[in-house]
Chain A
Amino acid sequence: MAVVLEARGLNKNFGAVTAAADINVAVERDSVVGLIGSNGAGKTTFINMVTGYLKPSSGSIAFGSRDITPLAPRQITRLGICRSFQIPQLFNTLSVYENLLVGVGIVASGGAKWADASRHAGTPSETVDSILERFNLTGYRYKPAGVLPEGVRKLLDIAMAMAVKPKILLLDEPTSGVSADEKFGLMDMVMEAVRAQQVTVLFVEHDMDIVNRYTHRVLAFYEGRIIADGEPGVVLDDAEVRKYVTGEARAAGGGKHAAH
């Protein structure tokens, strides 16, 4: 399969703290990759480097054949790498409909700067309607984003990332702050949307059941390094991962769920 995103020798230091150390990853097209690790392990730093928010101290990131290391977040978004946020970043005084319309409008008015293949079919308002439906948000259409319950905010945040037609979608803890019985429903909806638009997904997640069920591949981070990389069943059973990331008890459960 074709490699769509490749990080080579990424390092990032904040003073004496190493947030990323010699990260080498090649992500294949249409794969779903989970990023796991305890707090401060470097998962979000990795996402921030891929989206251009942080510049690596050394190393490079390529999107397809293009080096995106020096680009700003906006330029990287326009190339097709979009992210959602751990704490939803919405336009609180605008309605749910308008929140999505902003994104669809940016794509629609972007002209040649967006790859033609990534333009939406139909009018902006139709596109928003289809996104609302896909993410089951139609009932909230006229509600200002600021008054939505947390689970819905989370969903809208992801829907907004999808509204700008990404080729790679980065989700920062998509299920944090979402109640336990809503988590799988949310992930099912997101994964269905992702498959329909053939988007490659990388997501940071602490819930190993989610990781196990939805990923093809897992990267385990510890102190800025990737200590394990492979299929979820294998990574979650890895001795170092059990020690540093999941803890013994969780890892024992991880093997059981590998059948999903």
Chain B
Amino acid sequence: MKRDFTIRTLVGVLIALLLAGPLLPRWAMFLITVSLCYGTVVLGMMLLMRTGVVSFGHGLYYCLGAYASGTLDVLFGVSDIAVMLLAAVAVTGVVSALLGLLLRKYRDIFFAMLSLAFSMILYGLLLKTSALGSSDGFNVAAKTLFGIRIAGTEFERYLIFAVTVLIAFVAAVCMHKYLASHMGRLAGAIRDNELRVEYMGASVRNTIHVNYVMSAVLAGLGGALAAVSVGHIDPEMSYWTTSGEFVFVAILAGTGNVLAPFLGAFIFETIRSFAYEYSPNTWQMALGTTMLLVIMFLPGGLWSLFTRMRRAT
């Protein structure tokens, strides 16, 4: 059996990012932060895809996580990053546990469309909520971290970056461990043959439900981190094109390893930033071309490049 370097690579990237952080130019730090937020969401998408279901509505949890952390300040005047993240986890956990009761019964296009419908309901609700800025959304300012004031200090950017890096790291390690566990292994088995899983004594619906909640919480965390690092949230986060982007990045990255979503998100954000910079009117074309090339030449996603290389050595 091939040796698994995933955890070692993750630790290496963690240390490298934390050390390099203070030296990075602001735009690079922001690009990495946003990529990690996106990557955390896509990590959850990866779990769902491995289970054989695709959600076209994960913007729901991305948005919900962001609004849960943002409204804490609006409603209760709480703007501590740790509390904001916990709120995002709690809200997305509860909502996904409830919606999962319905979604676990559906597969394929029905699962995808139903999840999309839920995300568009949130989008519609937020659009009508003028207290939360309707379609403009509102600004989010995280002022403290574990009670220590960071807003306005020179470390503010770096601390937010470091928190994002740490959370993405913990999420990736946990997901890696989970996928290798007995329960995690059921994902691939369910994708291949649900009937057989039931006849071996495991519940397909329960497993899908658990994986759905996990992926939703990751999306919520990603959304809350994005809210904190970008500083602004709007209902667009729950719009179906946002959900589509998560699916896009998951396919671009491939589902072979927990590192893939982060790599995919980084490449996606990089292409988007530069394409937007150089051709503001046709930047989607650059993304579309990338997708086309990946589907044609790397149907297993970018990650399959690494597996091919390892097989060759």
User: What is the CA–CA distance of A246 and B111 in the complex, to the nearest angstrom?
Assistant: 48
Task: Check A82 against B199 for contact (C-beta < 8 Å).
Answer: yes
- Please report which residues of chain B, range 207-253, place their CB below 8 angstroms from some CB of chain A when the two chains form the complex: none
* Segment from B7-15, B144-152, B186-194, B261-269 that makes contact with A: B186-194
Task: Check A109 against B200 for contact (C-beta < 8 Å).
Answer: no
B196 interface residue (CB < 8 Å to A):
yes
Give chain A residues whose Cβ lies under 8 Å from the Cβ of B191. Answer: 93
A70 interface residue (CB < 8 Å to B):
no
A106 interface residue (CB < 8 Å to B):
yes
Task: Check A92 against B203 for contact (C-beta < 8 Å).
Answer: no
A sample of 15 more A-B contacts (CB under 8 A), given A74-B198, A93-B191, A102-B189, is A77-B201, A78-B201, A89-B193, A89-B195, A89-B196, A91-B189, A92-B193, A101-B185, A102-B197, A102-B200, A103-B200, A105-B182, A114-B201, A164-B200, A164-B201
Q: Can you identify 24 A-B contacts, CB atoms within 8 angstroms?
A: A73-B199, A74-B199, A82-B199, A89-B195, A89-B199, A90-B196, A91-B188, A93-B188, A93-B191, A94-B188, A94-B189, A102-B185, A106-B186, A106-B201, A106-B202, A109-B181, A109-B182, A109-B183, A124-B182, A142-B1, A160-B200, A161-B199, A164-B200, A164-B201
Give chain B residues whose Cβ lies under 8 Å from the Cβ of A235. Answer: none
Which residues does B use to contact A, with CB under 8 Å?
A: 1, 181-183, 185-186, 188-189, 191-193, 195-203
Cβ 8 A contact of A90, one of B192, B201, B202: B192
Task: Check A106 against B182 for contact (C-beta < 8 Å).
Answer: yes
Give chain B residues whose Cβ lies under 8 Å from the Cβ of A78. Answer: 201
Give chain B residues whose Cβ lies under 8 Å from the Cβ of A105. Answer: 181-183, 185-186
Task: Check A91 against B202 for contact (C-beta < 8 Å).
Answer: no
A98 interface residue (CB < 8 Å to B):
yes
Give chain B residues whose Cβ lies under 8 Å from the Cβ of A177. Answer: none
Shortest CB distance A51–B (Å): 7
Give chain A residues whose Cβ lies under 8 Å from the Cβ of B197. Answer: 102
- Kindly report which residue of chain A lies nearest to residue B195, judged by CB atoms: A89
Give chain B residues whose Cβ lies under 8 Å from the Cβ of A161. Answer: 199
Give chain B residues whose Cβ lies under 8 Å from the Cβ of A114. Answer: 201
- Please report which residues of chain A, range 135-193, place their CB below 8 angstroms from some CB of chain B when the two chains form the complex: 142, 160-161, 163-164
Size category of the A interface is 20 to 34
In the complex, which of the residues B181, B195, B199 has the most CB atoms of chain A within 10 Å of its own CB atom? B199
Shortest CB distance B205–A (Å): 10
User: What is the CA–CA distance of A77 and B202 in the complex, to the nearest angstrom?
Assistant: 9
Which residues does A use to contact B, with CB under 8 Å?
A: 51, 72-74, 77-78, 82-83, 85, 89-94, 98, 101-103, 105-110, 114, 124, 142, 160-161, 163-164
Task: Check B182 against A108 for contact (C-beta < 8 Å).
Answer: yes
Shortest CB distance A82–B (Å): 7
Shortest CB distance B307–A (Å): 14
User: What is the CA–CA distance of A114 and B200 in the complex, to the nearest angstrom?
Assistant: 12
Shortest CB distance B254–A (Å): 14
Shortest CB distance B211–A (Å): 15
User: What is the CA–CA distance of A85 and B193 in the complex, to the nearest angstrom?
Assistant: 13
Shortest CB distance B244–A (Å): 25
- Kindly report which residue of chain A lies nearest to residue B202, judged by CB atoms: A106
User: What is the CA–CA distance of A160 and B189 in the complex, to the nearest angstrom?
Assistant: 12
Task: Check A51 against B202 for contact (C-beta < 8 Å).
Answer: no
Give chain B residues whose Cβ lies under 8 Å from the Cβ of A73. Answer: 198-199
Give chain B residues whose Cβ lies under 8 Å from the Cβ of A89. Answer: 193, 195-196, 199
Task: Check A93 against B192 for contact (C-beta < 8 Å).
Answer: yes
Give chain A residues whose Cβ lies under 8 Å from the Cβ of B185. Answer: 98, 101-102, 105
User: What is the CA–CA distance of A177 and B202 in the complex, to the nearest angstrom?
Assistant: 28
- Kindly report which residue of chain A lies nearest to residue B2, judged by CB atoms: A142
Shortest CB distance B203–A (Å): 6
Task: Check A74 against B201 for contact (C-beta < 8 Å).
Answer: yes
- Kindly report which residue of chain B lies nearest to residue A101, judged by CB atoms: B185
User: What is the CA–CA distance of A110 and B1 in the complex, to the nearest angstrom?
Assistant: 27
Shortest CB distance A141–B (Å): 9
User: What is the CA–CA distance of A51 and B199 in the complex, to the nearest angstrom?
Assistant: 9
